[in-house]
Amino acid sequence: MPALKTLLATGLVGVASAALNPSCAPGGNFDLSKWSLQLPIGSTGSPTTISASQLSGCGGYQDPGHKYFFTESGDGALVMKVPGAPSNTGCVTTPNSQHCRTELRESSPSSWDPNASNNKLTVSLAVEQPDNSGYGTVVGQIHIADNVSTKPVCELYYNTNGDLTMGVEQTRSGGNEVMTKVGNVPVGQQFTYTISYSSNVLSVSINGAAAKTLSTYSLGAPSSYFKVGNYNQGSSASDVHFFSINVSH
């Protein structure tokens, strides 16, 4: 794994930072005070969720068996794993999804206005094992606020070929994503992405390159929130390691 990096305010990869602490839970290395966590376990239609207060701090939550959400013992990365699909692993989904996830959901604010001047998510990560679906594991997304729709605005997929594809819904009823390839990074290699939905303009940048603007079709700038993690779309296991997660509004 490449040396750990820190992200500058521009979203570009900068100089090496102090190493993450492998002895701390993820909340000791990452500011998780504004996130809640969904796990691929629990009861049917009701996955286990972990609150921001439970996640925060060096002694915060990580699953005891280190199967889903934990600190990597070698480099201190935040590891998010999903075993596969409900049909072959018994993992648990939400009522509105057929797929399992280990994923952080922005909880403070619980939603925001895409017309505001700054809504940006910048993440440094390495996908150690994408799932076996065509477009692969979703590693970041913008979701429409729960009181508006059950669908996302956009989802950033990463597959076994290292292809990064952004899917954007055309309407709030969903089921009609337009897929656009936005980059390629070899499996296991660290990279950064920035997803922005600011001034009603949706864009994505990979490794600090010029941002690619994407149409939001008939979505009409719905209230939204960020999600980041490992949202498995296939039947095989997926494994994503995170080195920094930064949100600005």
The answer, yes or no, to whether residue 180 has pLDDT greater than 60, is yes
Q: Provide the 10 A C-beta neighbour count for residue 243.
A: 28
For range 139-145, the mean pLDDT = 98
- Give per-residue pLDDT as tens, 39-58: 999 999 999 999 999 999 99
At 1, the pLDDT band (50, 70, 90 cuts) reads very low
The answer, yes or no, to whether residue 14 has pLDDT greater than 80, is no
One-letter amino acid for residue 138 of the chain? V
The answer, yes or no, to whether residue 6 has pLDDT greater than 90, is no
Please give the structure tokens belonging to residue 118. Answer: 């700054």
The pLDDT value given to residue 17: 44
For range 214-226, the mean pLDDT = 98
Whole-number Å distance between alpha carbons of 60 and 88: 30
Whole-number Å distance between alpha carbons of 182 and 205: 8
pTM of the entire predicted model: 0.92
Q: Does domain 26-248 have CATH number 3.40.50.150?
A: no
At 7, the pLDDT band (50, 70, 90 cuts) reads very low
Give 141's strand partners. Answer: 155, 227
> Domain coordinates of the chain in residue numbers?
26-248
At 10, the pLDDT band (50, 70, 90 cuts) reads very low
The pLDDT value given to residue 86: 97
For range 104-117, the mean pLDDT = 98
Backbone angles phi, psi at 55, to 5 degrees: -80, -30
Calculate the average pLDDT of the chain. Answer: 93
- Give per-residue pLDDT as tens, 183-212: 999 999 999 999 999 999 999 999 999 999
At 18, the pLDDT band (50, 70, 90 cuts) reads low
Whole-number Å distance between alpha carbons of 41 and 82: 10
- CA 144 from centre of chain: 15
Query: What percent of the chain shows pLDDT beyond 70?
Result: 93
Is residue 87 within 8 A of residue 234, CB to CB? The reply is no
The answer, yes or no, to whether residue 229 has pLDDT greater than 80, is yes
